[in-house]
Amino acid sequence: YRLANILSLRSFINKLRENLQVLMNLNDKLSNESNKLVTQTESLKKKEDEVKGIVDKQNYSMDRFIKNMKADKDINEEMKETVDLLMYQTLVQFVISSDRSSDFTIHGKEIELLFVKLHAWEYFEINEGALRKIIAKHNGEIDGILTYLSKLIHHTEELEEDDLLDYHITEVKRKFKRISKRYSTMTDEHMSTRNACAIVAMHNFDISDDDSDSSDDEDNKLERRLKVMRRTSF
């Protein structure tokens, strides 16, 4: 009986040792994480002091500075939305102008013409696979394509083609960084978005037909196309 108790006690002690080792390992990990947090806190405190010093030199309150930073972030988000709208608006123009036969559908060479125009679109990248799926899904019918694009713009439902357009401003951002490397990444992004807005707003895309003339028939074609655009209500 005593031997059994001794063996049971020894087994219990061994388990305690195992648990103790686990706890020691966890304690080491927690100590490492705590040290990292202390280092990060000190770094953040240093940056906070630097920012406060700059703000104080300009006779500016810290609260007002933070408030303006938040407002600036909101403005940046609005500008990004504006860029998205400008992209889709131009995409709509490209789709409509690719309908060379004026039958309110694009097919065959008209689709390839559309992608030639899109690949020449300097400041933005097109997800060609996603757009081809949209065109095929609606059998090339412009009304259906534009209605679908409108849903993408207004996010009325989750669509797998949400990544249809990704505006890329790498070149603009790189040029800005070459001018000055002392700005933060957030500032780079902010300035790049501003530049993208300016670029798209000022860029005149040529969507006219090569064989256009001043005849009544051409005027009618234009009016019909405008009606399609109005129905999409971007």
Q: What is the pLDDT of residues 76-127, one digit of tens each?
A: 777 777 777 777 788 888 888 899 888 899 999 999 988 888 887 766 667 7
The answer to whether residue 101 is domain-embedded is yes
**How confident is the model over 191-225, as pLDDT tens digits?**
454 554 444 444 444 444 444 444 455 555 545 54
Under 8 Å between Cβ of 146 and 229: yes
Confidence tier at 158 by pLDDT (50, 70, 90): low
In this structure, are residues 141 and 104 in contact, taking their beta carbons and an 8 Å threshold?
yes
State the sign of the Cα–Cα–Cα–Cα dihedral 219, 221, 223, 226: negative
Residue 142 · residue 106 · CB < 8 Å:
yes
Please state the pTM of the whole predicted model.
0.48
What's the domain range around 5? 1-60
Q: What proportion of the chain, given as a percentage, has pLDDT over 90? A: 6
Q: Look at residues 60, 88, 108 and tell me which one is the last residue of a structural domain.
A: 60
Domain match, 36 and 126 both:
no
Looking at the structure, tell me whether residues 50 and 87 fall in a common domain.
no
142: tokens are: 């412009």
Do the domain assignments include residue 162?
yes
pLDDT band, residue 136 (cuts 50/70/90)? very high
C-alpha–C-alpha distance, residues 203 and 211, integer Å: 23
Residue 126's SS3 state is strand
How many Å apart are CA 222 and CA 219, to the nearest integer?
A: 5
